[in-house]
Structure 1
């Protein structure tokens, strides 16, 4: 298994969206009450365009785990795509006494590959990036009803420091 940075290549990004991003979000949609995808747009095209733009920024990274090797395929990604992690810098304004953070946006490992330490490898890769760019903390958000993810993140050493609360404006 090899962890590679997702290249800013249209074919590679479309493959990532089709094989990893969309199944991950379909799974969340089925298990997390507040997670729903739009059904009136071309999700792959929209997300691929969005991801391409992100990959061209300085502060965003997406890494994919690839199992096996073979001939080079879409965008230079060969083998089976089995998981991914994304991270973005959350810069702290100078008026606050807190370090810049590297925020894990999404982390996903396909079912057959869970329990093999890949989530730990992903977090290690994100931590390596954080050290490279001078971020001394990692942060992430997780849905309160995603118990599997909560347990996994706690096992990796994450702790709850804040709670994000939401309300619909029509409910006020």
Structure 2
């Protein structure tokens, strides 16, 4: 398994969004009540996400690593995300503490996903290890993430890795109902 930093390259981002990002969010829709993609044409949805992702990849704080099954890799011509089977990804962003708060800078795992055939192989651990390495390199002293309360499998994995609940996000509708 090879791990590659997702470049701000439209073809690579389009493949990432279609092969990993969209299936990840479709799976979450099925298990998490409050997780739903916009009710729009898939082509429009993908185009909007590619544009959004390209903008984020241009910043210094945001990084996405993609796991590529190199045993499925063809002749990529030096472009590792062009061929091979995309197995999973982890996306991270640095959350710097404003100087008025007494808390460390942290690296936030914004998304992590492993495709079904690669679950149980240790790939999720490898992706968290990538994020941990990035946190150390960025001098962040914490790794943080949010997880949906309905995602029992993810919660169990994070707890096994040593993550602890330190706050809760609560929401309510303001539409008057």
CA-CA distance at 1:3 after TM superposition: 1.0
Supply the distance in 1 between the matched residues of 2:22 and 2:108 (Cα, whole angstroms).
21
Equivalent in 167, 170, 175 of residue 165 of structure 1:
170
Structure 1 spans left out of the alignment, 5+ residues: none
Normalised by the size of structure 2, how large is the TM-score?
A: 0.93
Distance in 2 of aligned mates of 1:76 and 1:114: 22
Relative to structure 1, is the Cα distance of residues 92 and 37 closer, same or farther in structure 2, using a 3 angstrom cutoff?
same
Quick check: 1:14–1:48 contact (8 Å CA) kept in 2?
yes
Cα separation, 2, equivalents of 1:128 and 1:40: 37
Is residue 133 of structure 2 the alignment partner of residue 128 of structure 1? yes
CA RMSD of aligned residues (A): 1.5
Name which of 130, 137, 142 aligns with 2:142.
Answer: 137
Q: Give the structure 2 partner of residue 147 of structure 1.
A: 152
Count, aligned residues: 172
Alignment partners' CA distance in 2, 1:90 and 1:47: 22
Tell me the equivalent position of 1:113.
118
- The SS at the match of 1:139 is strand
TM-score by length of 1: 0.96
Shift of 1:74: 10
1:94-122 deviation digits (Å, cap 9, x = unpaired):
11111001000010000010011111111
Secondary structure in 2 matching 1:33: coil
Query: Gaps (5+ residues) in structure 2?
Result: none
The yes-or-no answer on 1:24 pairing with 2:29 is: no
